[in-house]
Amino acid sequence: MILDPVIVGVFGTAAVFMLIFLGMPIAFAMMLVGFLGIGFLSSFHAALPVAASTMWHTAAFYDYTVIPLFIVMGGFAGSSGITRELYSSFEKWTRRLPGGLAIATIGACGGFAAVSGSSVATAATMGTVALPEMERFGYSPELSTGSVAAGGTLGFLIPPSIGFIVYGMLTEQSIGKLLVAGILPGILLTFGYMLIVVAWVRIWPGSAPANPEPASLSEKLLALKGVWEPLAIFAFVMGGIYKGFFTPTEAGAIGATVLFLVTLLKGKLTGSALFTALTEAVRISVMVLVLVAGANVFSYFIALSTIPAQVAGWAAGLEVSRYVILAVVIFIYLILGCFLDAISMMVLTLPVIMPVMLTLHFDPIWFGVIAVLMMEAGLITPPMGLNIFTVAGVAKGVRLESIFKGAAPFLLAMLLVAVFLTIFPKIALFLPNMMSR
């Protein structure tokens, strides 16, 4: 009996999720099912070279080399003391605002995200600096840990961002344009988080006692010296990509070199710091490589099953607004974020969802920003929020439930930014459309 390819595709997709929940690594589950599915729908003689060539082409993909470079940038940024200087700078300017230390934390997270491609690194590094200060001034555990966990997610949206790189690899979109597209939405989300803090403190004033000692104007101006380094590096790296002076990979190499020199000149380049930066770059790069390779094998199988074409045709034939389908996709991402990490969500869903978005005439660069924004939500949603567990490792004595509770209000800011981007797509597309070709 010859089975319908769509039925084979549905069984294959179900098998991937079953293997994942049984404990098999996602990359291997996708590669195994993809290989078997290709063999079933075509032939195993054809499946073998597909799996081999996919792994080779993924590892040889030039743009992939930007990932370890961006991770090294973040490692050097943390070792150089930029984090503490950023926090001190923002704290001087926001001290008298409601929840000023939490606002400073989010601002510093945004600044650190501009020189780091990792949200987990952002949350961990900022947590060690900001949490003791907020505890000293009597901030509630929910507000202090929630602001660090949410602020850490900015590392996934504000470039340099691993999320955009993986999205570009999976959808064959310009990584340079995707990185630039995240700048304005990242700034918007940063201010959205700050507004959440202000609203929180207005509703529950006891959660953030005011700092009684306002900083003088001279202190504020002197504090700005802690901002110029990450700002200059970000402007140089992203400005070079924007103007077409160099590729994202070249930008990553320049950024890593500059931060290496900054760390060296400050006398902070220890053997331990260098080893940690390099090993973290290797670990994350290999993880992403295997995930993308597995996703590509699985995508080939899904394409053979005709599921993407069938789903895209079905969605196009529905007598509903395309924004209703977009809302359903966003809801699916919010649910998946409770069980999967951000990169895994991307590699599992894009083979099916991307053709639907293109059929509905959504701009792929714009949708990349929406997708990455929703992936961010998974970093702070229970029970698998990776940033939550990262902060829990830093905030000794704070219950995990308190951190989840503290991060939950910030999800509202993410959804509001998604709505703004849907109503005003040029927020994400203005800069990419102005880029040098």
Length of the chain equals 437
- Out of 93-102, 181-190, 254-263, 332-341, give the one with best mean pLDDT: 181-190
Q: What pLDDT score does 269 carry?
A: 81
Q: What pLDDT score does 372 carry?
A: 92
Shortest CA distance to 32 belongs to which of 23, 43, 24, 21? 24
- Give the Cα separation of 188 and 426 in Å (integer): 13
Residue 436: pLDDT over 70: no
State pTM to two decimals. 0.85
* pLDDT tens-digit map of 373-393: 988 888 888 877 778 888 888
Q: What pLDDT score does 256 carry?
A: 87
Shortest CA distance to 291 belongs to which of 366, 228, 337, 343? 343
> Can you tell me the mean pLDDT for 288-304?
84
User: pLDDT above 70 covers what percent of the chain?
Assistant: 98
Q: What pLDDT score does 55 carry?
A: 80
What average pLDDT is seen over the chain?
85
Q: What pLDDT score does 160 carry?
A: 84
Q: Are 9 and 37 in contact (CB under 8 A)?
A: yes
Shortest CA distance to 131 belongs to which of 120, 142, 121? 142
Q: What pLDDT score does 137 carry?
A: 83
Instruction: Note the Cα 201 to chain centre separation in Å.
Output: 27
Shortest CA distance to 300 belongs to which of 56, 42, 63? 42
Residue 293: pLDDT over 50: yes
* pLDDT tens-digit map of 116-171: 777 877 888 888 888 888 888 888 999 999 999 999 899 888 888 888 988 998 88
Residue 211: pLDDT over 70: no
> Can you tell me the mean pLDDT for 336-351?
81
Residue 413: pLDDT over 90: yes
Q: Are 104 and 130 in contact (CB under 8 A)?
A: yes
Residue 422: pLDDT over 90: yes
User: pLDDT above 90 covers what percent of the chain?
Assistant: 21
Helices (H) and strands (E) in the chain, counts: 24, 0
Query: Which alpha helices (DSSP H) does 306-336 contain, by range?
Result: 307-317, 322-336
Q: What pLDDT score does 177 carry?
A: 92
> Can you tell me the mean pLDDT for 42-46?
80
Place of tokens 């064959």: 172
Q: What pLDDT score does 1 carry?
A: 47
Peptide bond into 383 cis (omega under 30): yes
* pLDDT tens-digit map of 52-61: 888 888 777 7
- Give the Cα separation of 342 and 26 in Å (integer): 12
Burial of 39 (0-12, 13-18, 19+ CB in 10 A): middle
- Greater confidence (138 vs 80) lies with 138
Least confident among 214-218, 246-250, 272-276, 304-308: 214-218
> pLDDT confidence of 430, banded at 50, 70, 90?
very high
